[in-house]
């Protein structure tokens, strides 16, 4: 446990002293800020059945696919390319402690990114003053959406670490993470849209598709609906990916 704490402090310091983290955060805020601004403008012109925060959460795959790979790509790939991973594993720290520290650091950074999004509804509400729609600061939507991202981020970050542990190239690690997250995000919707009525042999895929509805899970959480099935999916998937990452790191020793 002491080794994990030391490694976690080191990873947090290195992460937040890196310009790539701040550049990724700036890109993230610029992306979500633009989406939120246009959503506020759209709601001001015509009454909409959704709030600006809900509009931003509907674009969740965009930062997931563009920003998260930038956070995870260097976790192990850079260490392997520089030859420091083997030296790190010769210390009293175990491979599990190394993986856990990098995972906790990257996951907390991802959650901080999304928590900072709450500044936009607050700024919009303050700027509009008394004329502001109370739904701009819908705490249920904001809290539920960020909670989902924190829970699903366990699996998404673990996938990024697993991809990074498989290569020495950060660029290739980012590409692998992008492909894996893209498949995970869209597979549920694609399978659910298959014409199983015409092709009976596709009927068995409807069940798994229900558990892979990432955007559907996000909508449920943002509406205040907590389903334990997505929780089990993300937690078990995270444990599996982290276990495979530990195996890869030990093999690289």
Entry pTM: 0.87
Residue indicated by tokens 């399978």:
191
CA-CA distance, 96 to 243, in Å (whole number)? 8
Question: Average per-residue pLDDT in the chain?
Answer: 82
Reading phi first (left if > 0) and then psi (alpha if -120 to 50, else beta), residue 227 is in: beta
pLDDT (mean) for 144-170? 91
CA-CA distance, 165 to 28, in Å (whole number)? 25
Q: Which residues contact 8 (CB under 8 A, 6 or more apart)?
A: 101, 104, 105
User: What is the distance in angstroms between the CA of the first residue and the CA of the last residue of the chain?
Assistant: 21
pLDDT digits 0-9 by tens, 187-233: 765 555 555 554 455 555 556 666 677 777 778 787 777 778 788 88
pLDDT digits 0-9 by tens, 159-197: 999 999 988 888 999 999 999 998 888 776 555 555 555
Q: How many structural domains does the chain have?
A: 1
- pLDDT at position 210, please? 63
The domain containing residue 166 runs over which residues? Answer: 2-252
pLDDT digits 0-9 by tens, 58-112: 888 899 999 999 999 988 988 888 777 777 777 777 889 899 999 999 999 999 9
């Amino acid at each position: 446990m002491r080794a994990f704490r030391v490694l976690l402090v080191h990873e947090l310091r290195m992460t937040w002293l890196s310009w790539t983290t701040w550049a990724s955060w700036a890109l993230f805020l610029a992306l979500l800020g633009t989406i939120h601004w246009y959503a506020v403008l759209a709601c001001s012109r015509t009454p909409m059945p959704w709030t600006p925060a809900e509009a931003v959460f509907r674009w969740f795959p965009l930062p997931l696919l563009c920003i998260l790979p930038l956070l995870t790509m260097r976790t192990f790939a850079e260490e392997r390319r520089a030859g420091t991973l083997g030296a790190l594993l010769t210390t009293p720290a175990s491979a599990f402690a190394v993986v856990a520290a990098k995972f906790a650091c990257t996951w907390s950074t991802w959650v901080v990114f999304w928590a900072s999004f709450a500044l936009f509804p607050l700024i919009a509400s303050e700027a509009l003053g008394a004329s502001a729609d109370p739904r701009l600061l819908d705490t249920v939507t904001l809290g539920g959406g960020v909670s989902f991202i924190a829970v699903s981020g366990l699996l998404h970050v673990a996938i990024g670490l697993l991809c990074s542990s498989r290569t020495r190239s950060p660029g290739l690690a980012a590409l692998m993470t992008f492909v894996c997250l893209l498949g995970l995000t869209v597979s549920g919707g694609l399978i659910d849209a298959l014409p199983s009525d015409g092709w009976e042999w596709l009927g068995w895929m409807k069940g798994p598709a229900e558990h892979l509805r990432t955007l559907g899970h996000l909508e449920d959480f943002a509406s205040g609906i907590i389903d334990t099935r997505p929780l089990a999916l993300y937690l078990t998937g995270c444990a599996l990916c982290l276990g495979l990452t530990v195996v890869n790191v030990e093999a690289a020793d």
